[in-house]
Amino acid sequence: MQKRRLGRSELDLTVIGFGAWAVGGPWLYGWGRQEDDASIAAIQCALDQGINWIDTAHVYGFGHSEEVVGKAIRGRRDRVLVATKCSRLPDGQGGAFGRLKAASVREELEGSLRRLGVEAIDLYQIHWPEPEEDIEEAWVEIAKAVQQGKVRYAGLSNFNVPQMQRLESIAPIASLQPPYSMLRRGIEEEVLPYCKKQAIGVVAYSPMVSGLLTGKVTAQWVASLPEDDWRKRFNKEFREPNLSANVDLVERTLRPLGEKHGVDPGQVAVAWTLRHPVVTSAIVGGRNARQVEQTVRAAQVQLSDADLAAIEEGLKVREAKLQP
C-alpha cells in the first residue's frame, strides 16, 4: 500500500490507517457491543493487508480499545506504528470530560503504554483542546515525554489554527487529526492551508462519516441499530431530513462511481478524502476482517476530474434538499 511521510516526522504512514474507536466496545459514544475476538481479527487482517498504523485513544472504551490493540499487535510490533490520545477522562456517567493538567497527562500516558504493551508510542496526541486554557501545560508535558523516549512524535486532534499557533513555540507539531469528509469540509478554508505551510501532517478521521457513506445505510438500517450506538442517539446525519438526503447522495452519485471503479460507495468516499494533497492518511475503522478487506481497496482508487465534478454536483443537490 502507498505510504506518505507524516509532516516533518520520520514516520511513513500507509494512506489508510486502522481506526480503533469501535473496538472499544460500549460507552456513551461507542458503537455498541463488540466482540474482542472480532476486533483482534480485524486489526491483524489490516496488518496483513498492508496497513502499517493504528489509531486509538484512552477514551475509546476507557482503555479497552488500547488493551485490544495491545493484544492484536503482540509479536507484530515491528510491523505497526501506534497512535493514541489523551485528555478525555471518564465522568462516572458513561461519558467523558476534558482534562489537560500535567499530572493527568502523565497518568494517561503511563496507562496507555501499559495497556498497549509498548515501550514507546509512535504518535501521542491531545484528543481535544479542552479545557483550552490548559493546552500549553499538556503540550509541555508531552514534549517531556518525547525527550524521555516514551513518545516518538507529538500531535494534536480537533485543534484550530490559533490553538496550534499557541503550541508551536513549545514543541514541534508532527500532525493534526481533524474530521474530514465530503460532508465535513470546514478545514479546507484555514486548517489545511496552515498545515501545508507549517509542514504538519494531516491524518483525517471519519472519511465515511461513521459508516454513513458505505452504501449500507437506510432508514431501516438506522432503526435496527442498538440503542447504545452513538450514531442513533447523537449524530444528526443519521436522522431526518439529513438521512434521506445522504442516502440519495450515495445512491445517485457514489454508487455509480463505485461501480465504475469496481468498489463500494464507501471506498469512493475514502478516496475523495485522500485526493487532497495535504492529507497524509485517512483513518478508517473496522469491526471485522471482512470490512477491513473492503476498506483497503480505497487506496487503489484514483478519482478523475470528471469523478470529482460529479461528486461536487451531487453535494449541491444534497444541500438543495436540506434547504428550509
pLDDT (0 to 100) of residue 31 = 73
Residue 67: which of 77, 76, 80, 58 has the closest Cα? Answer: 58
Pairwise CA distance, residues 184 & 236, whole Å:
13
In this prediction, residue 95 carries a pLDDT of 84
Confidence band of 25 (pLDDT split at 50, 70, 90): confident
Is 60 catalytic? The answer is yes
pLDDT digit string, tens, across residues 207-217 = 999 889 999 99
Instruction: State yes or no: cis peptide before 178, omega within 30 of 0.
Output: no
pLDDT tops 90 at residue 231: no
Q: Is residue 43's pLDDT more than 90?
A: yes
Query: In terms of Cα–Cα distance, which of 72, 65, 54, 73 is closest to 25?
Result: 65
Q: What is the average pLDDT across 137-160?
A: 98
Residue 316: is it exposed, middle or buried by C-beta count within 10 angstroms (0-12/13-18/19+)? exposed
Residue 279 counted as domain residue: yes
Choose among 253, 241, 185: nearest CA to 213.
253
Write the CATH number for 100.
3.20.20.100
pLDDT at 229: 79
In this structure, is residue 203 part of a structural domain?
yes
| Residues forming beta bridges with residue 304, ordered by sequence position | none
Residue 273, domain member (yes or no): yes
> pLDDT confidence of 225, banded at 50, 70, 90?
confident
222 domain residue, yes or no: no
Provide mean pLDDT across the span 75-86: 96
pLDDT confidence of residue 249: 97
pLDDT, greater one: 106 or 25 = 106
pLDDT at 191: 98
First CA to last CA across the chain, in angstroms? 44
Within-domain flag for 217: no
Q: How many domains does the chain have?
A: 1
Does 181 fall in a domain? yes
Kindly state whether residue 23 falls inside one of the protein's structural domains.
yes
Q: Which of 29, 60, 153, 205 is catalytic?
A: 60
More confident residue, 238 or 29: 238
Instruction: Summarize the confidence of residues 20-48 as an average pLDDT.
Output: 88
Would you place residue 93 in the very low, low, confident or very high pLDDT band (cuts 50, 70, 90)? Answer: confident
Q: 21 lies in which domain range? A: 3-212+264-301
Let me know if residue 257 belongs to a domain: no
Q: For 115-125, how does the pLDDT look when each residue is reduced to its tens digit (9 = 90+)?
A: 999 999 999 99
Contact between residue 17 and residue 283 where contact means Cβ atoms under 8 Å apart = yes
